[in-house]
Every structure is written in C-alpha cells, then in structure tokens.
Amino acid sequence: MAFYEDWCKNNGDCDCSWKKCLIWTTIIAVLTGVIILLIFAFAVVFPPKATANDAVLLRLALSPGSPSPANSTASYNITVTLSLRNPNIYRGINYDPIAVAFSFNGSRFDESATVPAFYHKPRKTATFHLTVNGDGKPVKLTAGGVAAFRAENATGKFGIEMRMDTTMQYKGRKTKCPLAVICPLELQLVDPEVAATAFQRTKCTILRAKKSGC
C-alpha cells in the first residue's frame, strides 16, 4: 500500500484508486492464467490424436462364398501410414502392444498387424507404417457385404475400416486405460498405369474408457 501511495504522490495528480485497480486486475489475471496453465499441464490428461496420413491399396479382391457369404475369401495388399500425437505438454504415455484389424462392411478380414509396446513422449508425434497382405484369407461376409463389395469393386474405391486396440497408461498414473482408434479409410485401388493415387488425410476417432485416471 505504502509503495503505491508514495509512488502516486511523487507522480503528482494521478488517480490512485484507478491505477491500483488496474495493477491488481493485471496481477490477478496473470496468476489465474498461470494456475490454469499448471492445471492443464499437470492435472488434466488428454487422449492421443490419430490421423491416417497416407494409405495405398494395391489389391482387394473378395471371392464370395456360395451358398454362404460367411465362407468368402479375401486377397489384399494395404499399406497405411498412421500418426499418433500425444497432445499433453507434460505427461508421457505408455502403450501396450497395439492390435490392428481391418474390416470391410463390418467384417474383419485381417488381424495380422501389430505395433509393439512403446513410450510416447509428451508433445511428440509417432508415425507407423502398417502393411497387411493376404491371399485367399477367409472372411465372414454378410449378403449386404457381398453387394457392397460388388458396388465398390465397380468403382475401384473401397471403404475399409482400420481399428486399433490397446491399453495405455499416462505417466505418473496407475490406471490402465483401454483405448481404441478407428480410422474409416476411403481407398482407391492403385491403377498401375496411373502411378499416383491421392489419399485424403483422415482423422481417426478415439474411443477411450470413461474411467477415473483415463
């Protein structure tokens, strides 16, 4: 108090209460900002964000089973480049091994790919290249799936879903959190005559457990 009064006297005709008010408002605003920043850095955790940056479909052929579509087979070659970002400014994330599954029209046709367990540093983006390859692998299609394949096969553009499942743990927390990443990919079959095929970068959906600590 004394400081401001002295300062005002030395500065002649200033409006003391107005200046004090402004100074205190500024101090409170700065402190509030710092506290909010600390809460975000240390108390609140954010799940990772995932994006399919690139994907190449070299082959996708389904042989519908007859009489039952559940006895169909699939031959395919798919490569996906996926990036996973840890948006937390302070907290690292430990991931258990990640299981990767590909499905067409809700029917899984590949579960062979995995990503090994890893530690994800805060603010970092990890990139993975996943390739799955199959020849005559059994796939349980529905009648609707066979129809969907015929329709999409006519255009060469296929809707394929990539799903990743794992558990993760934020550094400094005890809870193991189930996590699923779902990427709906629109893949144009690569025509060897036309080398470049544009892939639209796709944001993936993150499903996380509604559990305290997650």
Ligand X SMILES: *[C@@H]1O[C@H](CO)[C@@H](O)[C@H](O)[C@H]1NC(C)=O
Contacts with ligand X, residue ranges (CB under 6 A) = 58-59, 68, 70-71, 77, 79, 105-106, 131, 133, 144-145, 147-148, 150, 153
Of the candidates 205, 175, 210, 203, the residue with the CA atom closest to the CA atom of residue 93: 175
Residue 15: φ, ψ to 5°: -90, 100
Task: Find the largest Cα–Cα distance for the chain.
Answer: 98
CA angle 139, 208, 175 (to 5 degrees): 120
Using the minimum distance from each CB to ligand X, give the nearer residue, 53 or 77. Answer: 77
Shortest spacing between CB 58 and ligand X, in angstroms: 5
Using the minimum distance from each CB to ligand X, give the nearer residue, 75 or 167. Answer: 75
Shortest spacing between CB 68 and ligand X, in angstroms: 6
Q: Can you tell me the distance from the alpha carbon of 88 to that of 120, in angstroms, rounded to the nearest whole number? A: 10
Shortest spacing between CB 140 and ligand X, in angstroms: 7
Using the minimum distance from each CB to ligand X, give the nearer residue, 71 or 81. Answer: 71
Using the minimum distance from each CB to ligand X, give the nearer residue, 12 or 67. Answer: 67
Shortest spacing between CB 31 and ligand X, in angstroms: 52
Contacts of 159 by beta carbon, 8 Å cutoff, 6+ apart: 104, 105, 148, 152, 184, 185, 186, 187
Residue 57 and residue 132 in contact, taking contact as beta carbons nearer than 8 Å: no
Residue 118 and residue 111 in contact, taking contact as beta carbons nearer than 8 Å: no
Shortest spacing between CB 181 and ligand X, in angstroms: 18
Using the minimum distance from each CB to ligand X, give the nearer residue, 147 or 209. Answer: 147
